């Protein structure tokens, strides 16, 4: 079935879903977006994603011409129109069409787009055997330049990191922050396990506050694991017993090598497996 795309309150077949080439979302990456999963007909953590969408918009002084409740409804209606039981939702808000020139006051209406499509996942063997990642030289955006907490349409920082990772033959790229601390990967948050303690960089490290990261922290605390949101360095990665990444698309994926060094036993570890199972159950119970 051709995907039906929501554009400003109407549904269009994918080839007919269009916006202006003068849109500042295209011209300058001026806009925000989300990535959300549908599991067996249930939208995972929709409220949290819409909260983050509105926070990202607020941070760039972009007023979304729908209320929070209307946005949730529009997303649900687009999922229903596409009859998707398992898939991916991509809401996008652009600054709107304007003149050439940066000034957002020169734009007209923000464009609201909701795409519902299939999800492209890592192949199953990466979940069984683990990923290899590499630290890249592109640092995460300095939080005082563009806050990594904003899920904006300008993803060049992450794309440059991704390119470096691809060149070095790795599935994900580990990004440091301006202080040389671990931040996150190009499209995923990172967790380590050391002596039974689950560790992940704090939001202040300059990261996107991942919804999956939040769910994993909740699951770990509910399972009475010891959890620390703390500054981490590459040293911590190299001496970790386990490492995994979290993200809407990746869910929880084990990492067994970083910078050509084997992490732990070189196989996905028991805490990673336990959290993966708990996360699977959560997506079904959502
Ligand atoms: N960090 C970055 C840079 C991301 O783009 C994403 C989302 N793809 C994540 C982390 C994970 O966030 P979430 O769990 O909300 O998908």
Question: Do 178 and 195 fall into the same domain?
Answer: yes
Question: Do 246 and 210 fall into the same domain?
Answer: yes
* Domain extent for 10: 4-117
Last residue of a domain, one of 68, 86, 117: 117
* Ligand 1 center from residue 188 Cα (angstroms): 5
**Which pLDDT band, with edges at 50, 70 and 90, does 285 fall under?**
confident
Q: Do 59 and 149 meet the contact criterion of CB atoms below 8 Å apart?
A: yes
Mean pLDDT within 133-154: 98
Question: Do 95 and 43 fall into the same domain?
Answer: yes
Q: What is the CATH number of the domain that holds 129?
A: 3.20.10.10
Question: Do 113 and 201 fall into the same domain?
Answer: no
pLDDT number for residue 15:
97
pLDDT tens digits, one per residue of 13-56: 999 999 999 999 999 999 999 999 999 999 999 999 999 999 99
Last residue of a domain, one of 54, 85, 117: 117
Question: Do 104 and 201 fall into the same domain?
Answer: no
Q: Do 88 and 24 meet the contact criterion of CB atoms below 8 Å apart?
A: no
d(CA 15, CA 213): 35
**Which pLDDT band, with edges at 50, 70 and 90, does 147 fall under?**
very high
Question: Do 172 and 98 fall into the same domain?
Answer: no
Question: Do 92 and 144 fall into the same domain?
Answer: no
Token match 């969408």: residue? 53
Mean pLDDT within 58-63: 98
Ligand 1 pocket, CB under 6 A = 35, 158, 184, 187-189, 208, 210-213, 246-248
Question: Do 18 and 52 fall into the same domain?
Answer: yes
Question: Do 112 and 210 fall into the same domain?
Answer: no
- Long-range pairs for 226-229 at CB < 8 Å and ≥24 separation? 226/196, 226/197, 226/198, 227/197, 227/198, 227/199, 228/197, 228/198, 228/199, 228/200, 229/199, 229/200, 229/201, 229/202, 229/203
Atom of ligand 1 nearest to the CA of 52: 15
Question: Do 177 and 106 fall into the same domain?
Answer: no
Catalytic residues, by residue number, are 151
Q: Per the structure, how many domains does the chain have? A: 2
Question: Do 81 and 185 fall into the same domain?
Answer: no
Is the per-residue pLDDT at 286 higher than 90? no
Burial class, 103, CB count within 10 angstroms (exposed 0-12 / middle 13-18 / buried 19+): exposed
Q: What is the CATH number of the domain that holds 18?
A: 3.30.470.10
Which protein residue has the closest C-alpha to ligand 1 atom 4? Answer: 187
pLDDT number for residue 1:
82
């Amino acid at each position: 079935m051709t995907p039906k795309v929501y554009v400003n309150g109407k549904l269009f077949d994918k080839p007919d879903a269009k916006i202006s080439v003068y849109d500042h979302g295209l011209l300058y990456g001026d806009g925000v977006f989300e990535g959300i999963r549908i599991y067996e007909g249930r939208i995972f953590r929709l409220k949290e994603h819409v909260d983050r969408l509105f926070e990202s918009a607020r941070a760039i002084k972009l007023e979304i011409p729908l209320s929070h409740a209307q946005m949730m409804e529009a997303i649900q209606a687009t999922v229903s129109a596409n009859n998707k039981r398992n898939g991916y939702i991509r809401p996008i808000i652009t600054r709107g069409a304007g003149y050439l020139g940066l000034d957002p006051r020169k734009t007209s209406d923000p464009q609201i787009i909701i795409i519902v499509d299939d999800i492209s996942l890592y192949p199953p063997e990466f979940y069984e055997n683990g990923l290899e990642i590499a630290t890249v030289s592109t640092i995460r955006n300095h939080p005082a330049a563009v806050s990594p907490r904003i899920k904006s349409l300008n993803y060049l920082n992450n794309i440059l990191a991704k390119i470096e990772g691809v060149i070095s033959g790795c599935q994900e790229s580990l990004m440091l922050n301006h202080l040389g601390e671990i931040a996150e990967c190009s499209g995923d948050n990172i967790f380590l396990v050391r002596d039974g303690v689950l560790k992940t960089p704090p939001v202040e490290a300059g990261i996107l506050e991942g919804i999956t990261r939040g769910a994993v922290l909740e699951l770990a605390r509910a399972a009475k694991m010891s959890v620390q949101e703390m500054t981490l360095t590459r040293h911590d990665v190299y001496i970790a017993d386990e490492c995994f990444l979290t993200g809407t698309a990746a869910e929880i994926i084990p990492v067994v090598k970083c910078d050509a060094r084997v992490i732990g036993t070189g196989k996905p570890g028991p805490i990673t497996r336990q959290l993966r199972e708990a996360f699977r159950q959560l997506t079904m119970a959502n």
